[in-house]
Structure 1
C-alpha cells in the first residue's frame, strides 16, 4: 500500500506536469501576442484595398506607417481609385476590399451586387461634410429657393444629405438642381457660377476655403444627418465566403487603426499630406469626424432607411444581411 508521502509526491508531480502543459499551450497561442497562429491560419496573407484621397481612409494609412498589418501577418496594398463605383466594380479582379460611402455600397446592393461589409470607416462630425460656396450672397441654406449644387453623383451621400438639410431649412426638394462634378472640378464650377454651391468633404472643404476664400453655407452633418455614418469597407460576398479568417483578421487590425486615429486626431491631420494634395498647414485645419471601432447594424440601418425615405432605394434594405456572420447590435 502506498505511503501518504508517496501519494503526495505523485500528486505534486501530476500537478507540475499539468501546469507545464497549460503554460506551454498558453505561450503558443492563448496569451495575447503569443505565436503567429492567427497569421498562419488565414486563407491568404495579402489584401488589395481600394481607397480614395479622403480623410475617411487615414486610419489605413496610419496602419501602414505603423506596420500594424505586417505585425498581424497581412501584406496590404492600398490601391488608389478614381471613383467609388470603380472600386466596387474591381472587386474580385484587381481588388479584394474597397472603400466607399455607405450610400454607394447600399445602392450597389439594391442594383444586384453581392457585397459583405467589413468595417465602418468614418462618421460625420461638425463641418466634415458641408455645402461650400464662393457666392457672398449665398450665406444661408434657405437663401436660394432653387439652388444648383455640385455633387459627385446625384444619388450619392452628398445629394442625400443635402436634400435632408435643405428640406429642414425650408427649401423644396424638387427645386434643388444637382450637377455632377468630381471634387477637383467643383472649385472651377463655383468660380464660373455654373453652380451656386458644392457639397464637399474634408480636406476639400478646407482647401477651398484657403485657396479661393470659399465659405460654408451649411454643415450637412446637422439635424437629421448629425453624426451620419459616412463610409465603410466592403468585399464581394464571394470573397468573404471564401476568406472569412483573413477578413476577420483585417477587421481586427482595422479596429486598432481606427482606435489609433480616434485617440490622436493630430496624427490623422499629419498623415493627410502624404496621400492628398494638401500642405501641412491646410491639413492642420481639417475638421475630423469620428472613426467607428466596429460595424453597428443599428447605426448603418439609419443610412438605408433614409435612402428608402428619399427614394434612393427601391425598397427597404435590411443592413443586417450585409454583415459578417456573428455581427450583432
Structure 2
C-alpha cells in the first residue's frame, strides 16, 4: 500500500509539472468550444486491443461530428494515467477498473464517464488470460504460488484477478510474486524465462499463443463472467467545469463502443495502427465485448476482492465513481 501511495504521489508531482499547474485541461473547455471550432482532447490510453473503439470512433468521425478531436497518448497502465487526468495533463483517460477503485478510495477526484471494455463471458475464451511459455510445467493457477508473474502495473486488475484465479484453484494467492512490465514486453519475457507467467490481454495473448504458449486461466472471467475490465474517466473538476464537453465525449465514446462491437474486422484492422501486432496474427485475436454501460455487480465484486487483498481499507464510493 505504501508503494502504491508513494507512486501516485510521485506521479502527481511529475505530471503536475508537465501540465504547468493546469487542472482544467489547458484550454480544452466548453468556453473554447463555444466559438464553433474543434476542441482537441488529450486522452491517456494503453496500446492494447481494449481501446480500439476510440481509434475507430475517431476514424469514423463520431468525435468530429461533435466538435471533438482526440489526441490519443499511450501509457503503460491505468495507474499511470490516473494522476495524468487528475493533474490536467489529460482531459480523459482509460483505466482498468481496479485502479479507479483504488483512486476513489483515496479520495482522488476521478469520475468514470463511459464504459471501456468487458470480459467475453466465456471461460477459456476470453480476450485476456494468464499465459505461460511453450513447454512450461505450469498447468493451473494454483501452481503460481512462489512464481514470478508479469503485470503491466502493480496493484491493478491483473494482480487482483490473478489472485482470484489462484484462490479458486486452491492455491495460496499471497505467495504470487508480481513483476511490473509493459504488455508488449511480456511475450519475450516469458520466452526468455524472466517470468513464469503473465497477465496478457490481446494482442499479447495471441503473440504468446503463436509462439507455442498457452493460457492456463481466464483471470477476468474468474472474477465475474461479465466483468467491467476498464472505463474511460475524467477528473471531477473537469467534469464540473466542462459538462457539455464531457457529455459530447461520452456520447461519441458510446457510439464508438457500439460500432466496435458490430464491426470486428475493422477492429482488427485499426489495431495495426497503434500496436506492433503482425498482420498474420490478426485473425487469431479473441475480441472482448464493448457494452455501452458498465456492469455494476461485477465492479462491486472486484472492489470486494481488492479490499480483501489490501489495496484499500475504506470501500470506494461507487455512486461517486460510476457514470
TM-score interval for Structure 1 and Structure 2 normalised by the shorter chain = 0.7 to 0.9
Give the stretch that moved more between structures: 229-238 or 263-272.
263-272
2:50 aligns with 56
Please tell me whether the aligned partners of residues 206 and 281 of structure 2 are also in contact (alpha carbons under 8 angstroms): yes
Paired with 2:180 and 2:130, the residues of 1 have a C-alpha distance of 14
Gaps of 5+ in 2: 1-32
Please tell me whether the aligned partners of residues 150 and 180 of structure 1 are also in contact (alpha carbons under 8 angstroms): yes
1:293 aligns with 292
Shift of 1:40: 5.0
Aligned-partner SS, 1:90: helix
Q: 1:196 to 1:182 in 2, by over 3 A?
A: same
2:113 aligns with 118
Q: 1:102 to 1:42 in 2, by over 3 A?
A: farther
What do the CA deviations read for 1:101-124 (whole angstroms, capped 9, x no partner)? Answer: 111122122233211111111011
1:193 aligns with 193
Shift of 1:70: 0.9
Shift of 1:193: 2.5
2:163 aligns with 163
What do the CA deviations read for 1:295-329 (whole angstroms, capped 9, x no partner)? Answer: 454443332232223322212112111235xxxxx
What do the CA deviations read for 1:264-295 (whole angstroms, capped 9, x no partner)? Answer: 22221121111110122212211111102024
Matches within 5 A, 1:318-329: 318-324=317-323
Gaps of 5+ in 1: 1-38, 325-329
Aligned-partner SS, 1:258: helix
- What RMSD in Å do the two structures reach over aligned CA positions? 2.3
Shift of 1:263: 1.2
Larger Cα Rg: Structure 1 or Structure 2? 1
1:101 aligns with 96
1:265 aligns with 264
Shift of 1:184: 3.2
Paired with 1:58 and 1:144, the residues of 2 have a C-alpha distance of 31
Give the stretch that moved more between structures: 47-56 or 138-147.
138-147
Please tell me whether the aligned partners of residues 161 and 225 of structure 1 are also in contact (alpha carbons under 8 angstroms): no
Aligned residues: 285
Deviation beyond 6 Å, 4+ runs, structure 1? 41-44
TM-score, normalising length: structure 1? 0.80
Give the stretch that moved more between structures: 249-258 or 186-195.
186-195
2:84 aligns with 90
